[in-house]
Structure 1
């Protein structure tokens, strides 16, 4: 098959000629949307998801649930008068739970949430569910979910790979109970077992046995969303044992949930204010959230900006100077590419630590960032668990993305300050941020 021209074309990253001054409406959170889809599919009654993210990862999740028998009806409103969307929030998905069943084949693409969150759901289905995906998905760790489900009573065929492709032979129920897993390579292993646990006969007790646990905010997000639909969850933060999460079996409520903007996807736009000494406003930034992207307020302020959270949203302003930073990103690893891009334009060195697990993401993000920034004249060195970045005068060139959406937006950030940067396969941003090139151009007034 011939490659899609959009995948191979080089996108000229727009170069900023002055300070940006824009309001950017960031689409809904991928992490919240995909968790909400699963919880709604497992509920005892229908529910609504309003302002869901419509991107490759979320459409893969919705499509997978449909193949297992879940009803997902989409509505789009242009005004508050449209039936089924009384608050006028635009797109809404009505999720209608039903008996999960196979046989079915699930395409996970390269979405970690789909490949990890859905096998426990499939274990509750009646019949075989096969999981397959992009070639890169075969290389991403899945052993924590596979081993954990087997210990809880599931039957899974993976030919001993501990990775995709695989088939879950659902029996309509799962015993559940205590299980120990090593989630050092992905917090999604823990979230995957917790999300479906209310439907397990005995619930679940997940014990993390590894030395480290990345991206804890995403586990907190899972716990908060479970509690919001009626699940009883005990956590280390609520007085439980360290590294142990318990979910009690029980029915889940159907909810009417409005999805927050994706704060991690706001990163390139906030970075644009920092890089150009301008101002960007992100409407509807939540005052309280479990999204890791909220940490951007602190990190980008330390790097030279300032922010104000109002009833309308977040207003972020750059000072015209960018400072280096020494920061542990273990809880917010997905922010690393954008922070590295800004750090490459700073006035002093930066050291980013706690992100060795990024070598197992959509691509090896540490190696990719090092190679691509250095090929533009930068000076980036990989460390055991991160990057050391010494700012240098950069020049134009091709910035490769490795089919990784956050690599593409990192290249766009650099392009604001460096002429003639060309992004290979900017279309990969559709994974979580649809229409990124148009949003970027609109921010710049192009």
Structure 2
């Protein structure tokens, strides 16, 4: 967790002066956008993404696919979403047209520090003609990639990584991959499974992925991958559909070019819903889906248990807080990405919280467990790491610098604490652009200090 002196600017987190009462339009889901881009690039015909997320991670994915020959055309029009409700969601009607092409190298892919890019695209690169080199931010070299590399080698791919099991690496694409059955340990990241499944329809034999490690984290993300594959015309057998436990099979087939409307990113709604809980206010997130595979949907249950209430209507999800926050004992194994904001709320609660099942967060953009414990404790908190999570005992907090280690979710967690603690200064709040562009403007708009259509006080 080294600091980057180039990002030493400090953002004063706004202190809430009363109960929040706002409607906040959250941009599209990163997880849906990047899966949809991969599936569209591998389809047999052009497709559309409506209301995609434009953030560092999704732009890296789009540029990577372009480098391999895929056409991605961006349009902005008030009517481009066809009646999908883009304007109702506060968006400009942005759409991306994806035109599949024969994948080719040589090409270089910059993954940044995006897990979806570094893990989803090496399987795609095996289908290219020629070498595809993958490189990224220094932290990306430390993130586990062995599950994808070892699996692709077992399926017949040629990959040069100097035996590191990590970036940088080169995939020597042969225009096709035989595919078949492969065993992997995906206990450090569910993205290993999703990566193989997304390209599986294009492998000659499809793919059968057999997880042989300990319990898989972030299962909702695998369910999202399966759901989107099926919508694109793929045949997928899963444990939930009567298959073997921890085994997923994708049959070889052509993928359909689809018209996909990207849901709001529910995980990125977490800090805004937390604001209602902390201030005893009310926040509405428009277009919250009735049915979704996004892990962020669990916020309804988790934050209700911590002292609020929610209602899902045609207007969206409205969450209301009482101003009192109750500690929680929760297994967040399936929804680990929500941990930073939940930990921030727990630090302001009136009783102890235990967050369990999240040891894998030590391998994310930074070691999130160590970072949360250190930074909350620096503000006067009492957070200890456990073997698989955090124990948070509420203390009176004070102002200070909250370091983010170039991790977007740590930055939003710091903003949440700053609602109730005067003098919190967030180092490198700009890192939120990874998945939540314009976060500072959305945040201050919610608090009524900045006017704007994206986050306006409710009448």
The match for 1:10 is: 10
The answer to whether the 8 Å contact 1:273/1:279 transfers is: yes
Flag as ranges the 4+ runs of structure 1 deviating above 6 A: 3-6
Are 2:204 and 1:201 aligned? yes
Kindly report which structure 2 residues correspond to 1:14-25, keeping only aligned pairs within 5 A, or say none.
14-25=14-25
Kindly report which structure 2 residues correspond to 1:33-48, keeping only aligned pairs within 5 A, or say none.
33-48=33-48
Q: CA separation of 1:4/1:163 partners in 2, compared to 1, >3 Å: closer, same or farther?
A: closer
Q: Tell me the CA shift for residue 247 of structure 1.
A: 0.2
Equivalent of residue 252 in structure 1, options 255, 262, 277: 255
Are 2:327 and 1:350 aligned? no
The Cα offsets for residues 139-158 of structure 1, whole Å up to 9 and x where unpaired, read as 00000000000001100000
Ranges in structure 2 where 5+ consecutive residues have no aligned partner: 87-92, 450-459
The Cα offsets for residues 241-269 of structure 1, whole Å up to 9 and x where unpaired, read as 00000000000000001000000000000
SS of structure 1 residue aligned to 2:72: strand
In structure 2, how many angstroms separate the alpha carbons of the residues matched to 1:152 and 1:263?
A: 35
The match for 1:228 is: 231
In structure 2, how many angstroms separate the alpha carbons of the residues matched to 1:259 and 1:249?
A: 26
The Cα offsets for residues 358-397 of structure 1, whole Å up to 9 and x where unpaired, read as 0000000000000000000000000000000000000000
Q: Tell me the CA shift for residue 98 of structure 1.
A: 0.4
In structure 2, how many angstroms separate the alpha carbons of the residues matched to 1:377 and 1:292?
A: 30
In structure 1, how many angstroms separate the alpha carbons of the residues matched to 2:6 and 2:277?
A: 29
Equivalent of residue 333 in structure 1, options 316, 331, 336: 336
Ranges in structure 1 where 5+ consecutive residues have no aligned partner: none
Kindly report which structure 2 residues correspond to 1:9-88, keeping only aligned pairs within 5 A, or say none.
9-77=9-77, 79-80=78-79, 85=82, 87=84
SS of structure 2 residue aligned to 1:246: strand
The match for 2:388 is: 385
The Cα offsets for residues 27-52 of structure 1, whole Å up to 9 and x where unpaired, read as 00000000000000000000000000
Aligned length, in residue pairs: 441
Indicate the larger mover: 430-439 or 4-13.
4-13
Kindly report which structure 2 residues correspond to 1:92-103, keeping only aligned pairs within 5 A, or say none.
92-103=95-106
Equivalent of residue 213 in structure 2, options 210, 215, 219: 210
The match for 1:368 is: 371
The Cα offsets for residues 91-123 of structure 1, whole Å up to 9 and x where unpaired, read as 100000000000000000000000000000000
Are 2:284 and 1:284 aligned? no
TM-score by length of 2: 0.95
The Cα offsets for residues 186-227 of structure 1, whole Å up to 9 and x where unpaired, read as 000000000000000000000000012100000000000000
The answer to whether the 8 Å contact 1:6/1:425 transfers is: no
Give me the CA root mean square deviation.
1.2
In structure 2, how many angstroms separate the alpha carbons of the residues matched to 1:148 and 1:5?
A: 38
The match for 2:120 is: 117
Q: Tell me the CA shift for residue 7 of structure 1.
A: 2.7
The match for 1:162 is: 165
The Cα offsets for residues 320-371 of structure 1, whole Å up to 9 and x where unpaired, read as 1000000000000000000000000000000000000000000000000000
SS of structure 2 residue aligned to 1:73: strand
TM-score by length of 1: 0.98
